[in-house]
Amino acid sequence: MAKRWAVAATDALKADGLRIGELDTSGRPGFTGDKKAGTELLAERALVLSDLQEKLYANGRSGDKRGVLLVLQGMDTAGKGGIVRHVIGSVDPQGVDHAAFGVPTPEEKRHHFLWRIRKALPRAGQLGVFDRSHYEDVLVVRVHNLVPPTVWEPRYDEINAFERELVGEGITLVKVALFISLDEQKKRLSERLNRPDKYWKFSAADIDERAFWPDYQEAYQAIVDRTSTELAPWYVLPADHKWYSRLAVTELLIDAFERLQLDWPPAKFDVEEQKRRLAQA
């Protein structure tokens, strides 16, 4: 366990039995340090993550079919983009398959909700990142009744079956839901309205969505209750402190990579013979 964690992030953040409404979004479960300690540790652990990712990539190039997929969910301004930038940004871009899922296109709408997801799955040896995901189809879709309950209700089981399939194919899922308080969101939206270099991140719809906060909490609760499985557990992250959520995601990813027990792939050639050939070439 990394230093300053009294309880490993994987244990401290597992969603089991958690009531979303009771979550302290300003908490830092498991971590005993302050912001300074957390930021320093993040820089250190980013190097560990980067090394592990390179090992996965190397194995992928050598025939290993496995991959890791980070699924990020959270309300607007919860910090998904910052995690991509500051956590995923610390590893080699060659090894990252990033996909963001917005409002479905007309073509996507004509297909099963998992169609666009399947097309974006990480390739062998890659670290996949989903900025929003198939869970939108039981979140925004459920909250706004974009389809009737008879359509979204069976999706929880479909998602579990889908994720079981992914795990069977060798993909380690790291599912992370970020939670901020309604007040913290107001602060962050306000920043976007006060800084011209942030206008582009703002949408009037983000304010509309605030009225549906309790409905979203209920929809997130359903996700945690029904799709946090042994094979693909949810991690629930208090995200009012950006430094904490970034550090926590880094630890969750490191844990996922370490469970793959990666080593450098062995040479598929006779090393001494190739050295002799190179000497003469």
Residue 97's nearest CA partner among 38, 45, 57, 141 is 57
Q: Which is nearer to its own copies, 210 or 226 (CB)?
A: 210
Query: Which listed range, 20-28, 39-47, 140-148, 263-271, lies at the site for its own copies (CB under 8 A)?
Result: 263-271
* Residue 106 interacts with its own copies (CB under 8 A): yes or no: no
* Residue 191 interacts with its own copies (CB under 8 A): yes or no: no
* Residue 105 interacts with its own copies (CB under 8 A): yes or no: no
Instruction: Give the neighbor-by-neighbor strand order of the sheet with 96-100.
Output: 96-100, 127-131, 67-74, 171-179, 234-238
Rounded least distance, CB 107 to its own copies, Å = 16
Please answer whether residues 189 and 119 qualify as being in contact, where contact means their C-beta atoms are separated by less than 8 angstroms: no
At residue 134, what are phi and psi to the nearest 5 degrees?
A: -60, -20
* Residue 269 interacts with its own copies (CB under 8 A): yes or no: yes
Rounded least distance, CB 203 to its own copies, Å = 8
* Residue 85 interacts with its own copies (CB under 8 A): yes or no: yes
* Residue 110 interacts with its own copies (CB under 8 A): yes or no: no
Binding string, 148-187, against its own copies, x = CB under 8 A?
--------------------------------------x-
Q: Which is nearer to its own copies, 106 or 266 (CB)?
A: 266
* Residue 116 interacts with its own copies (CB under 8 A): yes or no: no
Q: Which of 21, 89, 170, 214 binds its own copies (CB under 8 A)?
A: 89
Residues forming the site for its own copies (CB under 8 A): 58-59, 61-62, 81, 84-85, 88-89, 91-94, 96, 98, 100, 129, 131, 186, 189-190, 193-194, 196-197, 199-202, 204, 207, 210-211, 264-269, 271, 274-275, 277-278, 281
